[in-house]
Structure 1
């Protein structure tokens, strides 16, 4: 079936654009399935492809040489799971102290915010930076890696840390607005699986950086030049 936005599509271009518009409006997979009449399994498959393309787009704009280009699944941060709108989203209640939290850094370049998941950064490292305690970080070799971010977030506690040093251009308002958007979006999933948190984080980054644009039209333009593939 001909669809310039989706290679190997089994849906018409009109129906796919309907799903894309509902996604742009930030509806859940269940809501999109109910409105569009397309099965939730199919909708979930398409939404994952869309998010992967968004992540690639965000990566292409990142000035960092070390940004995470991997979306490899790892063990869940949750001990309690349940069915949710996305097939790979799980419910999170309290995170065990023995489970390493998902940590990501935030920095600004030009007029855009960028995020990077930091798999080798622990909660104790963040606390050491906040306290300006160098000894632990120097042993771990992580001081410079963390300090190049203006902020880091511990998703296990949904907590934002400010790491800006005196003299650094403030990005506080920008970061606070982004974190507010991200918390609101992630909260509706009642917790995230480690294997999907990267895609959802990059989606939040994309939505925030394009907040003054028509998200639907921006996505159409992106997928017109870089079509999705079901293979």
Structure 2
């Protein structure tokens, strides 16, 4: 069936546009399948291809420039892991996030551990040394100034300090809240599926002032989807 949005498609262009319209308003897959008359398995394959494209879009965007950034990490997974107390990351997925205040956009990266070396590697890929960085007082951020990030200021959450004039990380924490609500609504994800949904949340946040439906259709018309 000829479809300018999808290579070798077995669905019509109208059905695909309906899928993207419902996807754009963050409708659940089971509801989209019901409304479009497409089988759940076929729909999941299509949505996976859409999310893979969103992942590529997020990774290809130019993030490295001078700005005011907020950096923070968050833990995704069960609220409590048996045998682990406090902030332990065992059994959870750690995500490092960088919020750009000027562009009001966010960049995320799944990391294995929260140490200075790992955090610096992500920051250097996005933040120029002349930029301003705001973080909490977590010890892994201490080496930033030694690595030429001289405009680094912190708020001490451990001392109940959450904002000091312009020094705060409310922007990235707002994104964490939105993302965790989205993950909870779908009862969580595992493995590569988690990464795709994380990047979907990043894409939605960064394009929240745009018409996502029209944006995606224009992208898929220029470069049709391949169903994997």
TM-score for both structures, normalised by structure 2: 0.68
Shift of 1:6: 0.5
1:25 matched residue in structure 2: 25
2:111 is equivalent to residue 118 of structure 1: yes
- For residue 204 of structure 2, what is the aligned residue in structure 1? 207
Matches within 5 A, 1:138-153: 141-142=117-118, 144-145=120-121
Distance 1:151 1:221, change over 3 A: farther
* 1:218 equivalenced with 2:218 (yes/no): no
How far the C-alpha of 1:170 sits from its partner, in A, is: 4.9
Aligned residues: 180
Task: Indicate the SS of the match to 1:7.
Answer: coil
Unaligned runs of 5+ in 2: 65-75, 125-132, 142-150, 156-165
Distance of 1:192 and 1:177 partners within structure 2: 20
Deviation track 1:120-173 (CA, whole Å, cap 9, x = no partner) reads x15xx4xxxxxxxxxxx5xxx446347668669xxxxxxxxx969417975734
The correspondence of residues 33-72 of structure 1 with structure 2, limited to 5 A, is 33-63=33-63
- Report SS of the residue matched to 1:186: helix
Cα distance in 1, alignment partners of residues 62 and 199 from structure 2: 11
Partner of 1:156: none
Partners of 1:44 and 1:144 in 2: CA distance? 36
**Conservation of the 8 A alpha-carbon contact between 2:109 and 2:122:** no
Matched ranges for 1:31-180 at <5 A: 31-63=31-63, 94-96=80-82, 97=84, 99-109=90-100, 111=103, 112-119=105-112, 121-122=113-114, 125=115, 141-142=117-118, 144-145=120-121, 165-166=152-153, 170=167, 172-180=169-177
Root-mean-square deviation over aligned CA pairs: 3.1
The structure with the larger Rg is 2
> Is 1:194 matched up with 2:187?
no
CA distance in 1, matches of 2:153, 2:79: 37
Tell me if structure 1 keeps the 8 A contact 2:95–2:108. Answer: yes
CA displacement 1:86-145 (0-9 Å, x = unmatched)? xxxxxx5744549442111111355121111113x15xx4xxxxxxxxxxx5xxx44634
Q: Counterpart of 1:228 in 2: which secondary structure?
A: coil
CA distance in 1 between partners of 2:169 and 2:24 (Å)? 27
Q: Are the structure 2 counterparts of residues 118 and 3 from structure 1 closer, same or farther at C-alpha, using a change threshold of 3 Å? A: same
Structure 1 residues not aligned, in runs of 5+: 65-76, 79-91, 126-136, 153-161
